[in-house]
Amino acid sequence: MPGTPSTCYTLIFDREADWLDIFRKFDRNKDGYVTREELQTTLEERNMRQLEIDMDEVMKKADKDGDGKLSFDDFIKSCGLKSH
Ligand SMILES: [Ca+2]
Ligand SMILES: [Ca+2]
């Protein structure tokens, strides 16, 4: 796994150690996937509401395989850490 997060999610978790830690913070029920609801709840908890993030847009871009939830792979790809 890659090391230091350097792109969009670091806006929210800029002190966090690595991507897996960040992913686990979003994956609230620990089933290994981040849903739209989990994403939204986590952002709201961290007072990121003011960013006016369009959750549907985020999910559409991030969910590469189209199953409606983000795997860890989807998650890191969504920030361009891995290309293709
Ligand atoms: Ca989950
Ligand atoms: Ca997916």
Q: Using alpha carbons, select from 4, 8, 82, 78 the residue that is nearest to residue 36.
A: 78
70 with 62: CB under 8 angstroms? yes
Please tell me the pTM assigned to this model: 0.72
Instruction: Determine the pLDDT at residue 77.
Output: 79
- Cα–ligand 1 centroid distance for 52 (angstroms): 22
- pLDDT tens column, 49-80: 666 778 888 888 889 899 999 999 888 777 66
How many Å lie between the centroid of ligand 2 and the Cα of residue 64? 6
Residues around ligand 1, an ion, CB closer than 5 A = 27, 29, 31, 33
Spacing, Cα 42 to ligand 1 middle (Å): 11
Distance 35 CA to ligand 2 centre (A): 9
> Could you tell me the residue ranges of all domains in the chain?
8-78
| Least confident window among 21-25, 40-44, 78-82 | 78-82
Query: In Å, how far from its chain's centre is CA 2?
Result: 15
In the CATH scheme, what architecture does the domain 8-78 have?
Orthogonal Bundle (1.10)
Q: Output 3 or 67, whichever has higher pLDDT.
A: 67
